[in-house]
Chain A
Amino acid sequence: MESSYLIEANNLAYKINEVKLFTNFSFSLKAGEALHIKGSNGSGKSTLIRILCGITPSSKGKVYKKDELVFSYLGHKNALKTYLSVRDNISLLGLSDHEGLESLLSLLDLSEKLDVIVANLSFGQQKKVALLRIFLTGADLILLDEPFVGLDSNSHDLLCKFLEKKLHAGSGLIYTSHIPTGIRSKDITLD
């Protein structure tokens, strides 16, 4: 793997119950680049992201990551405790003392919701709480699986701006989305 690459995938393949989801999938991503994984439902986009994260092992091929690569991931599950307040969920992540927390909470319109139980928030608001983690961690690589689902237009724009800022700062981005984002990225389609 070239030293300038954050992550590189070589001939990745995944099959489940002898059904092939994708084969010979290769790409490489440098700092400041974005990769948009496209494909129809069930084409294996989420599985691919999970393989890149190291959660699911691939059936074939290999993923190379830069040494000590820090990455953050947001999948379909928000990793929120619905019986806890927003404040408690933030403290579970160890982010309560983060200097950028206050401004982000107000930017995401969550300041008034700090003591609300997560179960009482809307889907979109829950998504915003989950996104806080992505916003606050200084990751070299961000992996997002359908991050725009459930977000209103303001939050959508905010997320796009944030991701572009991160790209500009040298982070990498890999994401799946059915919603147009406007983020400059390489497109790869799984069929």
Chain B
Amino acid sequence: MNILLLLKNEALKLVKKTRAWLGPILIFILIMVAFPLTIELTSNNLSDAFYPVLFISILLVMMLATEGIFLEDYEDGTLELFLISKKSLSQWVFLKIFMHWLLIGVPISLLGAFFNLGANNDLSSSLMIFPALLIATYIFLILFCFGNSLSLTKGSALGTLITLPLTLPILVILGKLNTAIIFNINYFEFLILIFGVLSIIIFAFPAIISRIIKTHLE
């Protein structure tokens, strides 16, 4: 089974399960639309509070997007077949996360940049926040997938609780990035920093997750 077939399979499974990808996107839109209604509508207040709300909502939405990400394949026996096929389980985990990012993370990053335009009325900051959101959504997806794999048979809440502390450093960096965008200083340094985090975990975590899933199957 080649990589293209695996990717096609994951895309087919995700696209046909509308609530799995549309649900998180709709919730993100709902938060972004509802948040300006809950504060006093002066443009200063709105732009000050926008980034923290954006980052926290991305965190929550990615958490929702990964809920039960491996459970279905575990319960219906797909993972067992994959294991005996001698194909790389970590490659499958990598592709599954990538497909979730493509169908959920990328649209949310685009929407985040779009809502930034609405909140700050500034195209350059939207262009700056977009790559940061692309990276952050991928990192959050990987971390929550790790949590989900840990609590594969125990429900996703436990895994999320375990993983949540791992997301805090990323939120701190995103907070710094927020300041960097506002004052237009050190933006690329912080962008490279979160890209560095992503480049480490993007291959390491699928290998760890596949090992955890294998243990569950045994």
Enumerate chain A interface residues (CB-CB to B < 8 A). Answer: 50, 53-57, 71, 73, 75-84, 88, 91-92, 94
Contacts and interface: CB of A to CB of B under 8 A. Distances in A.
Interface stretch (B24-32, B39-47, B77-85, B99-107): B77-85
A73 B12 contact: no
Contacts of B84: 53-55, 71, 73
6 contacts: A77-B80, A78-B76, A81-B13, A81-B76, A84-B13, A84-B16
A47 B204 CA distance: 31
Given A73-B81, A83-B16, A94-B5, A55 B217 contact: yes
A94 B83 contact: no
Contacts of B5: 94
Contact of B218 (A57, A79, A88, A92): A57
B16 A75 contact: no
A82 B76 CA distance: 9
A79 B16 contact: no
Given A77-B80, A79-B78, A83-B16, A55 B9 contact: no
A88 B76 contact: no
Given A78-B77, A79-B80, 13 more contacts: A53-B80, A56-B218, A73-B81, A73-B84, A78-B76, A80-B76, A81-B13, A81-B76, A81-B78, A83-B16, A88-B16, A92-B9, A94-B5
B76 A77 contact: yes
B218 to A, nearest CB: 5
Contacts of B154: none
B9 A75 contact: no
Nearest to A82: B76
Task: Classify chain B's interface size.
Answer: 10 to 19
A79 B13 contact: no
A9 to B, nearest CB: 16
Nearest to A130: B77
B3 interface: no
A55 B218 contact: yes
Contact of B83 (A55, A76, A84, A91): A55
Contact of A75 (B1, B72, B77): B77
Contacts of B75: 77
A11 B191 CA distance: 57
Nearest to A133: B81
A54 B77 CA distance: 14
Contacts of A79: 76-78, 80-81
Nearest to B1: A94
Contacts of B16: 81, 83-84, 88
Contact of B12 (A50, A57, A77, A92): A92
A73 B72 CA distance: 19
A55 B77 CA distance: 11
Contacts of A92: 9, 12-13
Contacts of A57: 218
A83 B17 contact: yes
B12 A91 contact: yes
Nearest to A85: B16
A14 B68 CA distance: 30
A54 B80 CA distance: 10
A16 B12 CA distance: 38
A156 B192 CA distance: 61
A76 B75 CA distance: 11
Q: Which 8 A-B pairs have the closest CB atoms?
A: A77-B77, A79-B77, A79-B78, A53-B84, A79-B81, A92-B9, A56-B218, A94-B5
